[in-house]
Amino acid sequence: MKTILNVNDESYEVEAALGTSLCDVIRETIGLTGVKKGCDSGGCGMCTVLMDKHPIFSCMTPFWRAENKKILTVEGLADQDRLSKLQESFVQNHAPQCGYCTPAMLLVAKALLDSNPHPTDGEIRSALGGVLCRCTGYNPYVNAIMQAAREPRSK
């Protein structure tokens, strides 16, 4: 099936078999490999993308479900070479360790802060609940999001 997907405000014409997940299409067809593939069954959260601003598992979503929606991946967060406030805060707090879960963490954090600019510690932890960090480095992520929430945001 052929269709057009809007990813990070760019249109991509893609063609894939009907059973193909959005995750595979973004990674393999479009070539944006910031979206990671972990368990491929909705258990780890690595494949999280924002669809119309809400976090979803792209490994569980058929790519054609993203038609007429806006998809955001980690590649869409920075403004050219300038990192977003959230990304800067992740760097300053040494939040990423191996980095594999970082794209998903950034996206769930962005969705949280866009809908709730001043979340509590509990709200942050709930939002991160669907993304596993196998380095178990959750606290630096929480701190980074707290810091980003305190600072005036440009993006």
Partner 1 sequence: MVRYNPTVLERPSSINEAAQLLKKWGSKARIVAGNTTIYELANQGGLDDVDTVIDLSKLNLNYITRYDGSLHIGAMTRFVELASSNLTGNDSYFAAKEAAMKLTPPQIRNMATIGGSACSGIPFYDMPVTLLAIDAEFHATSSDEGERTIKAEDFFIDYFVTTLRAEELLTEIVCPNKERSSSSFVKLGRTTIDFALVNAAVNITLEPKRNRMSEVRIALGAVAATPIRAKSAEDFLIGQEPSRENIIKAASLGLDFEPSPSLHASSKYKKRVIPILVRDALFAAVNRVLRT
Binding site for partner 1 (CB under 8 A): 1, 17-19, 21, 40-42, 45, 48, 51, 54-57, 59-62, 64-65, 108, 126-127, 129-131
Structure tokens at 64: 């054609």
Q: Sort 154 into a burial class: Cβ within 10 Å, 0-12 / 13-18 / 19+.
A: exposed
- Closer Cβ to partner 1, 127 or 142, answer by number: 127
- Least CB distance to partner 1 at residue 10 (A): 23
- Closer Cβ to partner 1, 61 or 93, answer by number: 61
Number of helices and strands (H, E) in the chain?
Answer: 5, 5
- Least CB distance to partner 1 at residue 153 (A): 21
CB 105 within 8 A of CB 95: yes
- Least CB distance to partner 1 at residue 152 (A): 26
- Closer Cβ to partner 1, 88 or 137, answer by number: 137
Structure tokens at 9: 């405000």
- Least CB distance to partner 1 at residue 25 (A): 14
| Strand pairing category for 70-72 and 2-7 | parallel
